[in-house]
Structure 1
């Protein structure tokens, strides 16, 4: 059977996004471009192992004037885990691409959340904070720390960008992180 995408090569791979068998070449070239691949696609996961991340200098990173030290991240690791979880849940709820996540984080950093992920993230964060006592909220969160953690997440997202229009390498990274450290969603 020939590939329904190119109509010339043999269809050898089952594409879970299209629910069709397609050829390896179309899978490779259309992956996360014209095909919105699910995070659990075996071919996508395998391809992630071979992606080369482009190193970014401090000057090229988002908000280069903001210094975020390892010590700061260690002091705020609980908050970072909660923020990362809220971001991941918001991103996978509607199968958003990494570009959407980056836009949402930038909006949050600038205090103007309008993107659906930014709104969902803000709502999820409000739920988390509502579960804390007022004293714990004050002790646990500060606007400055929240902003720095969001900048850190944006830098991670930019650093994981694979250049594909529907790329979800950062969202996949978050999923892998939670599976390794917390046993899943």
Structure 2
């Protein structure tokens, strides 16, 4: 694409109106020099700051975090039209849903408007279900609580906000997930992939 677009348009419309390919050298170079987004560029409510994430939780639920990260990468590979904002929307909806379950016991999900976002959310829910089934099979019971799922979702949501450029067509977070789970290794189960979670 870089041979068909002027430098000014590239700079101004990159990931805004232009859906840049992940391997574009100009995009990669821009990401290297891009300043992290400031705190006032992210809605504090969207970070679920009321949810505390301890080092102990990160250690004890590492496989859950890996599994959910893998689910996001899998969803993004299945639907190449997904952008960071789509994953953030899916994670936000699920975080609100699980927070409601934890606080009131109500099971209600705010419907997502995008089919792609719904599929991403469904992939996450499938991973949670499979995680619980694996616990049941190996231990005879499941110890995963809804509050644990909420914390894991909030971790990924904060990670997404920290990785994305915030532009409408940004795929920086998506590309980060792909780097954690390379396509040729996608057949490897998350639990077998080792510790590759990078903190935001």
**TM-score category, normalised to shorter length:** 0.7 to 0.9
Cα distance change of structure 1 residues 25 and 70 upon mapping to structure 2, 3 Å threshold:
same
Corresponding position of 1:79: 64
Cα distance change of structure 1 residues 75 and 123 upon mapping to structure 2, 3 Å threshold:
closer
Larger radius of gyration: 1
Q: More helix per residue: 1 or 2?
A: 2
**Conserved in 1, the CA contact under 8 Å of 2:135 and 2:142?**
no
TM-score (norm 1): 0.74
Choose which of 94, 103, 106 in structure 1 pairs with 2:89: 103
Corresponding position of 2:170: 167
Q: Distance in 2 between matches of 1:140 and 1:82?
A: 16
Q: Distance in 2 between matches of 1:55 and 1:184?
A: 34
Choose which of 22, 44, 51 in structure 1 pairs with 2:27: 44
Choose which of 47, 52, 63 in structure 2 pairs with 1:62: 47
Q: Number of residues paired by the alignment?
A: 164
Instruction: State the 1:22 CA deviation.
Output: 1.9
Q: How does 1:86-125 map to 2 (within 5 A)?
A: 86-94=71-79, 95-111=81-97, 112=109, 114=112, 115-116=117-118, 117-125=120-128
Corresponding position of 2:180: 177
Instruction: State the 1:78 CA deviation.
Output: 1.1
Corresponding position of 2:8: 25
**Conserved in 1, the CA contact under 8 Å of 2:163 and 2:172?**
yes
> Secondary structure at the residue paired with 2:47?
coil
Segments of structure 1 that go 5 or more residues without pairing to the other structure are 1-11, 15-20
Q: CA RMSD in A?
A: 2.9
Q: Distance in 2 between matches of 1:65 and 1:131?
A: 29
Q: Distance in 2 between matches of 1:140 and 1:47?
A: 44
Instruction: State the 1:66 CA deviation.
Output: 0.9
